[in-house]
């Protein structure tokens, strides 16, 4: 596993408490998502060059803004798989789906306060016509339901279901040799 510091240009070494929603929103508004996507693509290339990965497959996984970036990496690069949890930018970039060839798994909360249900339903409709894209809506779950570090967001039951689906997807699409 390799995780890029996406904020190295704006706030190097940024580390916010998990409950600092205001700070996180402020930092994300300063982020150039396209440059961060290019950084993630570069990180994927570096990962593939590591001795323990050479000759193996590699994918991307992201949560929230990271889910949006993982979606963009899947569209602009060639990861072997992509997993995107509640990427709020995905509904606004559904046209990227035509560029995605790798197996891609999407998770959304059915009661997300930050992504309107109509937009989530649009993602579901898009996924239904793309064989490589699988989408799960976790009814009753809000945004960041898998954030176990934040009592404000954490919802263990839908998080466990989503992780079970993610584990099955990865076992099927990116099996460990």
- What is the pLDDT at residue 157? 97
Q: Would you say how long the chain is, in residues?
A: 177
- What is the pLDDT at residue 73? 98
State how far the alpha carbon of 107 is from the alpha carbons of 7, 22, 30, 68, 98, in Å. Answer: 24, 24, 25, 11, 19
- Per-residue model confidence as pLDDT tens for the chain (177 residues): 888 999 999 999 999 887 788 998 899 999 999 999 999 999 999 999 999 988 889 999 999 999 999 999 999 999 999 999 999 999 999 999 999 999 999 999 999 999 999 999 999 999 999 999 999 999 999 999 999 888 889 999 999 999 999 999 999 999 986
* Dist. CA 102–CA 44, nearest whole Å: 14
* Dist. CA 105–CA 142, nearest whole Å: 18
- What is the pLDDT at residue 56? 85
Question: Could you tell me the residue ranges of all domains in the chain?
Answer: 57-173
**Minimal CA–CA distance to 75: which of 36, 102, 106?**
102
- What is the pLDDT at residue 26? 92
- What is the pLDDT at residue 68? 97
Identify the CATH homologous superfamily for domain 57-173: Alpha/Beta hydrolase fold, catalytic domain (3.40.50.1820)
* Dist. CA 175–CA 170, nearest whole Å: 6
The angle subtended at Cα 97 by Cα 92 and Cα 101, nearest 5°, is 150
- What is the pLDDT at residue 24? 86
CB contact set of 23 (below 8 Å; sequence gap of 6+)? 16, 17
- What is the pLDDT at residue 50? 94
């Amino acid at each position: 596993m390799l995780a890029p510091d996406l904020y190295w240009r704006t706030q190097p070494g940024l580390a916010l408490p998990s409950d600092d929603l205001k700070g996180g929103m402020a930092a994300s508004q300063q982020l150039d998502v396209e440059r961060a996507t290019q950084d993630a693509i570069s990180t994927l290339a570096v990962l593939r060059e590591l001795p323990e990965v050479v000759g193996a497959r590699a994918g991307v996984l992201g949560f929230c803004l990271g889910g949006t970036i993982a979606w963009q990496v899947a569209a602009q690069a060639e990861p072997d798989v992509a997993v995107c949890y509640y990427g709020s930018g995905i509904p606004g970039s559904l046209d990227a789906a035509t560029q995605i060839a790798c197996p891609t798994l999407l998770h959304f909360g059915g009661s997300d306060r930050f992504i309107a249900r109509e937009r989530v339903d649009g993602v579901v409709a898009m996924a239904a016509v793309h064989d490589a894209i699988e989408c799960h809506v976790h009814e009753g779950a809000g945004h960041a339901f898998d954030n176990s570090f934040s009592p404000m967001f954490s919802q263990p039951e839908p998080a466990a279901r989503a992780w079970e689906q993610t584990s099955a997807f990865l076992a099927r699409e990116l099996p460990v040799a």
